[in-house]
Amino acid sequence: MRPPLDGVVMITGASSGIGRALAQELAPRSRVLVLVARRADELNALAERLRAAHPRLRVLVAPCDLVERPQVDAMLESVTQQVGEVEVLINNAGFGDMTLFDLADWERTRRMIELNIVALTYLTQRLVGPMVKRGSGGILNISSGLGLSFVPGFAGYIGTKHFVTGFTEALRLDLTGTGVVVTQSCPGPVATEFAGHVGNFTGQEVPSMMEISAEQCARESLRAFELDRAMVIPGVLTWVMMALNDLTPRPLRRLLLAQVAPRLRELQQRARQETR
Ligand SMILES: NC(=O)c1ccc[n+]([C@@H]2O[C@H](COP(=O)([O-])OP(=O)(O)OC[C@H]3O[C@@H](n4cnc5c(N)ncnc54)[C@H](OP(=O)(O)O)[C@@H]3O)[C@@H](O)[C@H]2O)c1
């Protein structure tokens, strides 16, 4: 069973990073790409490039703040009117927040939950029914390696990605035998705008050997999706890290990671004092 990637494919978070790379990968194969994100100028620039390189491709730019439900409903209605039913949904839009949870900003946490969890679930709910009726479709959810593990300093983000991982596994079971392919991708560090928005107060960069490109992440995610795999962890080193994570007993991981938290608290409090 294969997801109909040659049909109408909606990609959320297509204005940068992994979403943009997914659009570039799919452009030679899909009939219609629907590009969703807030920054219309970035989406239009990408659409222009894709149309120029692939004259048979139809690209629909659908600017939308996925946190705002009325905008999501209007966007879905307009997309259906213009290109018909979405055959494949790629839930990629998301952002992270590096902070000890007691020091987190609630409004930012709320928006992260609304985007990473609520919007992903709502879009899936709205679009999956017709896929089941047609007996064909695909949902690719971009979770994270942090959807499979836990570390201090990311409680809110990790909570959202654990939701995505659990939801996607269970959705895949629900849709057994319906003709709808459900896959999740759980990348580690990917070189995108993500790190610039995450609020890193540690002064430490992600080691470059751990980081993969958005293009590699997109390619490996799509390959697994096409093969009807339940999950893919793009990047060999992240895959190894996740295997080690699985092999380490949870109580030992708790004990080791708890050593890091007090140092993080010191760094975050110092960073806060410096910005006052
Ligand atoms: N990069 C990593 O290290 C990494 C690792 C693991 C998992 N991930 C996951 O990969 C996914 C893609 O992230 P990325 O790395 O490609 O980061 P990115 O370059 O920052 O892309 C995030 C995308 O989400 C869109 N977005 C953000 N808020 C939105 C909103 N309210 N409504 C609609 N779209 C919104 C952004 O577009 P606009 O700003 O134009 O709205 C952008 O297109 C995320 O789910 C992230 O959690 C990333």
For 28, 36, 70, 160, 224, the CA distances from 233, given in Å and listed in that order, are 24, 24, 34, 18, 9
Phi, psi of 52 (to 5 degrees): -65, -40
User: Where do the domains of the chain lie?
Assistant: 8-275
pLDDT at 127: 98
pLDDT at 274: 87
> Over 90: is that where the pLDDT of 207 sits?
no
> How far is ligand 1, taken at its centre, from the CA of residue 259, in Å?
30
CA atoms of 59 and 51, how far apart (whole Å): 7
Give tens-digit pLDDT for 219-260.
999 999 999 999 999 999 999 999 999 999 999 999 999 999
Nearest to 194 by CA among 61, 93, 90, 44: 93
pLDDT at 205: 84
Is this structure's pTM higher than 0.85?
yes
> Among this protein's residues, is 122 annotated catalytic?
no
**Quick check: CB of 117 below 6 Å from ligand 1?**
no
**Domain 8-275 belongs to what architecture?**
3-Layer(aba) Sandwich (3.40)
Residues 172-179 have a mean pLDDT of 98
Residues 79-103 have a mean pLDDT of 97
Could you write out the DSSP letters of every residue in 257-276? HHTTHHHHHHHHHHHHHHH-
pLDDT at 206: 83
> How far is ligand 1, taken at its centre, from the CA of residue 14, in Å?
8
> How far is ligand 1, taken at its centre, from the CA of residue 92, in Å?
7
**Quick check: CB of 115 below 6 Å from ligand 1?**
yes
Q: Write down the mean pLDDT value for the chain.
A: 97
pLDDT at 256: 96
Q: How does residue 43 score in pLDDT terms, banded at 50, 70 and 90? A: very high
> Over 90: is that where the pLDDT of 275 sits?
no
**Quick check: CB of 160 below 6 Å from ligand 1?**
no
> Over 90: is that where the pLDDT of 204 sits?
no
Which amino acid is located at 26 in the chain? L
> Over 80: is that where the pLDDT of 276 sits?
no
